[in-house]
Amino acid sequence: MTVPKGAPISGSAGSVEALAEQIAARAGGPVFGVPGGGPSLVLLDRLERLGVPFHLAHFEGAATLMAGTAGRLAGRAGVSVSIKGPGLANQVPGLAACAFEGLPVVAVAEAYPASAPAGRAHKRMDHARLTAAVAKGRRAVSEQGPDFAALAAWAEAERPGPVVLDLPPKPEKDQPPLPPAPQAPTGRIADRVAGARRPVVIAGTLAGRLGLAPLLSRLRVPVFSTAAAKGVVDETLPHAAGVFTGAGGPESPERALLPLADLVVGIGLCPGEVLGAVPFPCPAVNLDSVADPEGEAAFHLAATGADPAELAPLEGAAWGAGEVRAALEAARARLAEGDFLPAHAFAALERRFGAGLRLVVDTGDFCTVAEHVWTARAADRYLGSGQGRYMGTAIPMALGAALHDPATPVAAVLGDGGIGPFVAELKLAAQHRLPLLVLLMSDGGFGSIRHRARADGLTERPLTVHAPSWLEVMAGLGLKSGRADDLGSLARGLAGWQPADGPLYIEATFQPDAYRAMVRGIR
């Protein structure tokens, strides 16, 4: 990156200036956050002089999630910035989502140095304890390092996630070294794979990070992905079996196909990427780059290994194309019963944009539908909350994706629950005329919880959203807006939108009882 204006910057090791230079040289994209008047603003000033774009968010948690998403798409850790104490506390929801979804981010926060006397209490909070459960670890800017590149590599290492960097007024001294690289499993899986006649593959997000998508596309045996890895096998291919969750209902593809297999071959299969980690009906092996005793026990793995070359014998097996087609058709037909439901809306999106769209969803029954009906051609074209099932993540993730790659239109598909938490951040979409479609799937409440409430005879009142329309709010935020009560009006709304013209909001409304019943048998 070049220095467009101002004096050249060169800081001594451990300074904010040096950090800015390291970020400019190493980070995956724009920086996101909410600064204060202290070193966070100095950092942003230096980054601006180095030509690194910054996006001001309304909520720090959203900034962290935007940065993590841009980082995932860039293949390099993203960067978020906040003040100390409450600023970092507000980053925590975003850090938690990034931890669940495996998004690499270095969360930079102003901080008191460890040596600050106890009397200095303004906005003071124990950052280590605050972030212990949601970050791999925390270090401070220091003369001895680690530098930004080492911290970013820590965030990117298996399994990707957040790292916190304190930005004290003065550099810290004497920090512990970063943890060593995780151990790889030592077992062997090649013999089991070679002996299988009807293997089924379940690919987790590791398959993408190991660059195994081309191998998965070449295979002629059923290949599932976890929800978080959806698209790692091109789902237009006849052996792509859709999403495996471990909790599929009797009409789900996994329940149709797994009983026919003689071996399950996991790739980065781990409890954190499924809804239910239970033994399979046949033996199972797993390729991973980190040893995972919990996963081995939960899935009853017969063997593990770390070398992708051990998967080569899979290329010699062939079965299941007809079974895959039948299983997917049955599940999709089930989800498309009725007049106008999310499955029809996803089909309309696919007809209008095909492979050209990046789809972002968070959680709710419409996401379960998306996992089964949406045809993802690549893992970076489908961003979900497969691991966290984290309501509300779709808006910041879609903004992170659109700001990272403005050439690819993005559809953020949300429910009545997920639209609220970060709606203000959509002003960024209006400001930058981002190619963003915000599609609300509205059944007037928390449909995925309502059906459980009804089954258990519990009140539905807390699950009903008062005045669920956001049309006027969206217009006020600067988005063109429209409503779709049926498939025809949705198709017309989509046909009239040119992504280059800037963001569009469409509110699709569904009949609540039909919505509540739609995933029965699948989930």
Residues that bind ligand TPP (CB under 6 A): 363-366, 389-392, 415-418, 443, 446-449
For residue 65, the minimal CB distance to ligand TPP (Å) is: 11
The radius of gyration of the chain from alpha carbons, rounded to an integer in Å, stands at 24
List the one residue out of 383, 389, 387, 396 whose CA is nearest residue 60: 396
Nearer to ligand TPP, 102 or 320 (CB): 102
Query: Which tokens go with 56?
Result: 């001001």
For residue 330, the minimal CB distance to ligand TPP (Å) is: 22
For residue 438, the minimal CB distance to ligand TPP (Å) is: 13
For residue 363, the minimal CB distance to ligand TPP (Å) is: 5
Nearer to ligand TPP, 315 or 337 (CB): 337
For residue 59, the minimal CB distance to ligand TPP (Å) is: 13
Nearer to ligand TPP, 188 or 389 (CB): 389
Q: Is the peptide bond before 352 cis (omega within 30 degrees of 0)?
A: no
What is the rounded distance in angstroms from the CA atom of residue 428 to the CA atom of residue 466?
26
For residue 248, the minimal CB distance to ligand TPP (Å) is: 17
Nearer to ligand TPP, 418 or 493 (CB): 418
Nearer to ligand TPP, 319 or 390 (CB): 390
Nearer to ligand TPP, 299 or 340 (CB): 340
For residue 146, the minimal CB distance to ligand TPP (Å) is: 32
The residue type at 518:
M
Displacement of CA 446 from its chain's centroid (Å): 21
Per DSSP, the three-state class of 40 is helix
Nearer to ligand TPP, 201 or 360 (CB): 360
What is the rounded distance in angstroms from the CA atom of residue 67 to the CA atom of residue 81?
10
What is the rounded distance in angstroms from the CA atom of residue 261 to the CA atom of residue 119?
65
- The residue to which tokens 């070679």 are assigned: 194
List the one residue out of 460, 409, 462 whose CA is nearest residue 439: 409
What is the rounded distance in angstroms from the CA atom of residue 78 to the CA atom of residue 94?
13
- Cβ-based neighbours of 73, under 8 Å, separated by 6 or more: 28, 29, 380, 400, 401, 404, 405
Query: Which tokens go with 213?
Result: 């998508």
